[in-house]
């Protein structure tokens, strides 16, 4: 019988991306024969019968539509079924039953002569004979993983998505200590061929922070959510406090108020103040916030502890001390450990937005750029307001878009009305 493409919806001229059987294979009903891929989905075409594949009518990269013939197959039970079908009376049932031995030579013959497909997941299998869903097959192609090397844990040794990812992570992705092994290296170039060059060594800080940033970027699925906070009133209040603080030897910065607002937001949304540990989420009942500080040798991130328990003036003093020690290279290891969240502020330099890298095992980081005056509609007219862009990068395994938007919206509300920080 001819095996044809069944109803596949409105799709036509769909490419064949995989042939899952060969001529002579014995298949069961619903075993996949070929895989098709449209611009929206990947689908397997199953066998409607149990039988032997006589020949294939398509090849990889051929296009098919509903009704296209993809294979010719011989049903294992077709001869007795054809003989018994014309007789509709139940009384005649015993007669064919007595002739059951007749098809016996038919069934063993193809089973003995035809090569049976390897069991899925065995060493002799190939990616074409292994059982896996279209999603898993497509993911395997994207990851460039041969499914023949993946041990399946699903029914009938079917390779599941988790089987594939586990194999990929344990066998192909480098560990944190393996450097960039497994990732194509950037080719070396003799730049001196194009003009004069100078070579300077990386600073110690950049040597230490580089692998950590690389590890975070490779392991954390980053998403960045951006918003703006109206800090017109907050900045006016900050300036008043700063005028009073200068004679005492310290400055009151916008960052101290952002620390307070972030701490209050972390208390309201504890998932953002967490870390992912396997299948568990570690929620932290303390708020220690890392603050990225620009130094001549590179970026360092000292930690301000128990931010939720300190006032803006105390935080301003502590920030001044940490920043000074960071630039002088006097920070200790304890000064840079234990953060639950990080703020990276480029406000003193410029920019309109950026994507800060999550400082794993934290799950979020706030990027801050330079504030600017902008006309804002107040319901009756446009008024000049000081707007501060905020960029929240987060680990999408822990934080979804809705939570990120709620967290940032709450943060902007606190920054817009400093009185809320006292509630």
Q: How far is the CA of 181 from the CAs of 173, 175, 178, 328, in angstroms?
A: 8, 8, 6, 36
Q: Choosing from 167, 214, 225, 396, which is the catalytic residue?
A: 396
Pair of tokens at residue 295:
């130094």
Burial 256-289 (b: 16+ CB within 10 A, else e): bbbbbbbbbbbeebebbbbbbeeeeeeeeeebbb
**Three-point CA angle 262, 265, 270, nearest 5°:** 115
Residue 361: asked if its preceding bond is cis (omega within 30°), the reply is yes
Residue 397's DSSP bridge partners are none
Whether residue 396 lies in the annotated active site: yes
**Cβ count within 10 A of residue 249:** 8
Contacts of 327 (CB under 8 A, 6+ apart): 293, 295, 296
Q: Which residues are part of the catalytic machinery?
A: 396
């Amino acid at each position: 019988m001819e095996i044809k493409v069944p109803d596949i919806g409105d799709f036509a001229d769909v490419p064949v991306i995989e042939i899952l059987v060969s001529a002579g294979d014995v298949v069961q009903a619903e075993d996949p024969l070929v895989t098709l891929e449209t611009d929206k989905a990947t689908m397997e075409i199953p066998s409607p019968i149990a039988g032997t594949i006589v020949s294939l009518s398509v090849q990889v990269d051929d296009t098919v539509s509903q009704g296209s013939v993809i294979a010719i197959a011989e049903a294992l039970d077709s001869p007795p079924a054809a003989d018994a079908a014309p007789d509709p009376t139940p009384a005649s049932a015993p007669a064919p039953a007595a002739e059951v031995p007749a098809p016996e030579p038919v069934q063993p013959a193809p089973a003995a002569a035809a090569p049976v497909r390897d069991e899925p997941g065995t060493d002799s299998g190939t990616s074409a004979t292994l059982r896996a869903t279209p999603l898993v097959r497509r993911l395997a192609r994207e990851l460039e993983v041969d499914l023949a090397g993946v041990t399946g844990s699903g029914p009938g040794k079917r390779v599941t998505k988790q089987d594939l990812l586990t194999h990929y992570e344990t066998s192909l992705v480098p560990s944190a200590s393996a450097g960039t092994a497994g990732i194509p290296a950037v080719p070396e170039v003799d730049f001196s061929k194009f003009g004069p060059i100078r070579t300077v060594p990386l600073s110690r800080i950049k040597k230490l922070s580089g692998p950590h940033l690389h590890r975070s970027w490779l392991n954390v699925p980053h998403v960045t959510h951006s918003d703006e906070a109206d800090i017109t009133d907050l900045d006016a209040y900050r300036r008043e406090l700063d005028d009073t603080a200068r004679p005492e030897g310290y400055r009151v910065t916008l960052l101290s108020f952002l620390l307070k607002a972030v701490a209050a937001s972390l208390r309201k949304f504890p998932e953002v103040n967490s870390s992912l540990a396997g299948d568990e989420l570690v929620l932290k009942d303390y708020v220690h916030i890392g603050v990225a500080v620009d130094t001549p040798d590179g970026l360092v991130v000292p930690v301000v502890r128990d931010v939720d328990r300190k006032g803006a003036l105390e935080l301003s003093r502590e920030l001044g001390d940490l920043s000074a020690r960071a630039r002088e290279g006097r920070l200790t290891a304890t000064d840079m450990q234990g953060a639950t969240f990080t703020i990276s502020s480029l406000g003193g330099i410029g920019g309109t937005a950026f994507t800060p890298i999550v400082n794993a095992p934290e799950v979020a980081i706030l990027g801050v750029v330079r504030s600017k005056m902008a006309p804002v509609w107040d319901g009756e007219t446009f008024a000049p307001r000081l707007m501060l862009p905020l960029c929240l990068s987060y680990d999408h395994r822990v934080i979804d878009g809705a939570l990120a938007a709620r967290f940032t919206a709450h943060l902007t509300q606190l920054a817009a009305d400093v009185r809320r920080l006292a509630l």
